[in-house]
Chains A and B, each alone.
Chain A
Amino acid sequence: MSIKRMFFLLAIAFGVVILLLGLLVPSLNRTHKFSTSQSNHFRRQIDESDGKLPPPPAGRMDWYRYEEAPPANRLTGGSEIAAGEKISRGMGGYNGSGVAPSAGQPLRSRRVGGRIVSAGKPLSEEAQRLEERRIHSGLLSVTADEIWVIARPETQAVPADEDTPGCGAMLAKLPKGDKEIPLPLKHTDVKGQISGYIATVDVTQQFHNPYDQKIEAVYVFPLPQNAAVNEFIMVIGERKIRGIIRERKEAEEIYRQARRQGYVASLLTQERPNIFTQKVANIEPGKNIDVNIKYFNTLAYVDGWYEFVFPMVVGPRFNPPGYTDGVGAVARGKNGISGQKTEVQYLKPGERSGHDIAVTVDVDAGVKIEEVKCTNHVIKKIFTSPEKLSVKLSSLDSIPNKDFVLRYKVAGKTVKSALVTHHDKRGGFFTLMLYPPESLSYLKRAPMEMIFVLDCSGSMNGKPIAKAKQAVTRALRKLQPNDTFQVIRFSNNASQFGPDPIPATPDNIRKAIRYVENLQGSGGTMMIEGIKAALDFAHDPHRFRLVSFMTDGYIGNEIEILAAIHQRLGASRIFSFGVGSSVNRYLLDRMAKLGKGAVAYIGLDDGAGEVVDLFYERISHPALTDVTIDWGNMQVTDMYPYHIRDLFVGRPVILTGRFKGNSKTTIRVTGKVGDLTQEIAIPVNLDDSAAAHQGIACVWARKKIETLANQAAYDNNPDLPDEIKQVALEYGLMSAYTAFIAVDSSRKTAGDHGITIAVPVPVPDGVRYETTVQN
């Protein structure tokens, strides 16, 4: 190569370099301090602050500092652990973003001071060694004691291992205990008021920051699956800020901005109709922030008993392989490992979060209350009159690890006010509890094809599967000679007692009971396999096929299951039995509704035999089918559910709709029992103020949302989400597409949003941590 040509090539190369530098310099000016090209989070933060770099976040102060030693009382252990964990877990790079740090990046921090402190106190020598080892293991590719911070994650910080405190990697010591556990949620207070069959419930969650840095608390919690959540208030000291209902994405964006800018804010989102996430941002050290949620719901009424349920904990869900829109169950501090959109962190056996719960319920039944039961909690009850009752959860039973289920029996065979109305500027709303005719209980049923489907997954291991087996055994013994039956079990796959349903002979029943007795709980919950096995075979036209699912419903892919039921149901009827202390009532209720059947719950302290006997009593009589209603002068529109399902003895259905009339009229319900036509007449007075309730409009809107959401499970109509959103916004209700946001704009807290701490919860009573929680 000639010298001239070499110079020519060098000149071109030089030109290219100059060109590249010209392009790169503005970009470097923007991001040079953090090398954030892989961090969308941080880039947004910089951009949104007009190119100015935000102050170093309090929660990561040690990482952003150059030479300063950490102050003695700062909670830094968690921060270091979090970063160390990311290294050791090898999430594709040092910061989990897939990019390793490189020399020359200016932002760096040293582990100075020589000691790691936690909860304001130095860790023990052993813990120090553990921390040293963990951090060092992550520094294999990093120079000596330098640690590079590229960006912090949008989600919670991750602690190192299960021995270190998790949930954002912050620690607090219990005054009398030696276990270190996070305490971002102090207390939940539940106040229920029941009038007739409608409950108004106020739930107050008391968040508290016991640390010396700002935190964001994240709490995934349950509410009843039919709760119409219509009020959300953030309480800061004596100030109360009412939250605003907005489109979910919009609310999430407002929250993100407020959190980033240092404002106290809270956001409530719905993950499932019975699972919600509460986020509270910028809780300053030592400060309390309460969040008050109000909802209405209708109570279940079965065989003369009302049932008020307040769920206290989300059970650990199983998600099928490849599914990401589920609800993950992970050990405390292991956020992100489930790969699911929503994640619940669980405490290990023996751990206690310090979060407790108080429940009071005031009942005004309108008629005499004859009996009260609460099988799984200790309660104190006071009758203020024969119709009025006050119930309080005992302070000795305040660990929130099982559903609070209050049942009370009222005098008479029907409720006092079956029709409850509400009028406002939008018009009239009603709910009607529709009872099956008394005459049904005197008629006998047709032969049945009984299919028992037993969930034998890991979450059922122990007490729940024992209860389920008791129930199936009892049910098998109740079969009549003309019936046929099948027993199907499922966990990771499904198998069955015999190739086809067999006659209910004493010998077959004995063999089936032995088969059931040998079943054990382990493995995943591939419920779809159970659905297929139960519904995908030829129907015997001479028998009424009844499929009984015995499950805790701990799955994250509810929509898939409901869609499968809709597609495969055919002539079958589904009766779902929820077995356990804190079952997925949303799934079980919807399965029964879609399956045109009914639902029953067997708590761990309930007698399985009693529940099954009641169930058999119900199905021992024919249902009222092909039900139609003449509403008289009510001019009813927008009734939900669209179609009235069969009426079984002892099991009323609740209808809700809108109306225009305002006078006395008679509602006439007609249906068929076999070939016979039955009619029920219900006289009503629409002006009766005693039968009015302000929550009825919300109950109606919530029912409409539920109906549309059910439809969305099997209908690809792209307008359904918008329709749900519009109803929710108009009535100020939570839904999958709306959220409550509250921001205190009057004061900006110092620094940015600090560290995110998820609230860990106990696994439900009777559920084994080892077989359900991803660790």
Chain B
Amino acid sequence: MKEITAIILMSISIIVPVLAQQSEQDITTVQPRVRFAPLYIYLDSGNKSLAAYQFELKAAAGQIKIVGVEGGQHKAFKEAPYYDPAALANDRIIIAAFNTGSELPKGRTRIATIHLQIIGDAEPDYELKLTVAADADAKEIPAKISFEKGERK
């Protein structure tokens, strides 16, 4: 009987730490997948020259974190645009840029790239809203904003 008790106790003493380790690993494995991807923002100002813009972006579904903001393709908007840090606290980003030069883009142009961290497997839905687009005289101009996902599948 003594031998059986010894074996059972020994088994428990070995199993408990193993189970603890196993449960620790289970906790770490349930962390959601994290990936990084760019989101390209385009603005089409038709035949008007684009001198300034402001837009707002947020994820309507899915979890994202903005990890960088890059400028656009035209040299007038090449510099990294500014964002409003106060707005960022509410899980959205407000981005704005302007250029006072004479060489300004017309038509469809990429105005910014938003670098994102995407958390989880769900594909995020983005809500993109153009607040204003303006010409060199600071007059509001009609424009259409759109985005393209840059994530490689």
Contacts and interface: CB of A to CB of B under 8 A. Distances in A.
Q: Say whether A and B bind each other.
A: yes
Interface of A: 9, 12-13, 16, 19-20, 23-24, 26-27, 30, 37, 43-44, 47-48, 50-51, 233-234, 238-246, 250, 254, 257-258, 261, 263, 265, 729-732, 741-746, 748
A745 B38 contact: yes
Nearest to B10: A16
Given A27-B21, A43-B28, A745 B80 contact: no
A744 B102 CA distance: 30
B113 A743 contact: no
Nearest to B81: A242
Nearest to B151: A745
A242 B68 contact: yes
A152 B50 CA distance: 51
Contacts of B71: 239-240
A47 B3 CA distance: 40
B116 to A, nearest CB: 6
Contacts of A731: 85-86
A746 B85 contact: no
Interface in B1-35: 3-4, 7, 10-11, 14-15, 18-19, 21-22, 25, 28-29, 31, 33-35
Contact of A47 (B15, B25, B88): B25
Interface of B: 3-4, 7, 10-11, 14-15, 18-19, 21-22, 25, 28-29, 31, 33-38, 65-71, 78-83, 85-86, 88-89, 113, 115-117, 150
B131 to A, nearest CB: 13
B107 to A, nearest CB: 22
Contact of A23 (B19, B37, B69, B88): B19
Contact of A27 (B25, B69, B89, B116): B25
B78 A744 contact: no
Contact of B85 (A19, A254, A732): A732
A250 B88 CA distance: 14
Contacts of A744: 68, 115
A294 B150 CA distance: 30
Contacts of B37: 745
Contacts of B68: 234, 241-244, 741-745
B40 to A, nearest CB: 9
16 contacts: A12-B4, A26-B22, A43-B25, A47-B25, A47-B31, A234-B68, A240-B80, A242-B69, A244-B83, A245-B88, A261-B34, A261-B35, A265-B67, A742-B115, A744-B68, A745-B116
A238 B78 contact: yes
A242 B70 contact: yes
* Among B21, B89, B117, residue most surrounded by chain A Cβ atoms (within 10 Å): B117
A354 to B, nearest CB: 29
Given A9-B4, A37-B21, A745-B68, 8 more contacts: A16-B11, A48-B31, A48-B34, A242-B69, A244-B69, A258-B67, A732-B85, A746-B115
A233 B67 CA distance: 12
A729 B89 contact: yes
A9 B3 CA distance: 8
A215 to B, nearest CB: 20
* Among B10, B19, B21, B65, residue most surrounded by chain A Cβ atoms (within 10 Å): B65
B67 A47 contact: no
A47 B69 contact: no
Contact of B117 (A43, A245, A257): A257
Contacts of B78: 238, 240
B55 to A, nearest CB: 15
Nearest to A255: B67
Nearest to B150: A746
A242 B82 contact: yes
Contact of A261 (B11, B22, B36, B113): B36
B115 A30 contact: no
A20 B15 CA distance: 7
B15 to A, nearest CB: 7
A23 B85 contact: no
B9 to A, nearest CB: 11
B10 to A, nearest CB: 8
Nearest to A728: B85
B85 A16 contact: no
Contact of B36 (A246, A250, A263): A263
B42 to A, nearest CB: 15
Given A240-B79, A242-B81, A254 B11 contact: no
Contacts of A9: 3-4, 7
A254 B29 contact: no
Contact of B25 (A30, A245, A246, A261): A30
A610 B144 CA distance: 66
Contacts of B18: 20, 23-24, 27
Contacts of A23: 15, 18-19, 22
Nearest to A24: B18
For the complex of A and B, 9 pairs with smallest distance between CB atoms: A732-B85, A242-B80, A745-B36, A743-B67, A745-B115, A241-B68, A240-B80, A242-B69, A746-B38
Contacts of B116: 745
Contacts of A743: 36, 67-68, 115, 117
Contacts of B89: 729-730
A730 B88 CA distance: 8
B83 to A, nearest CB: 7
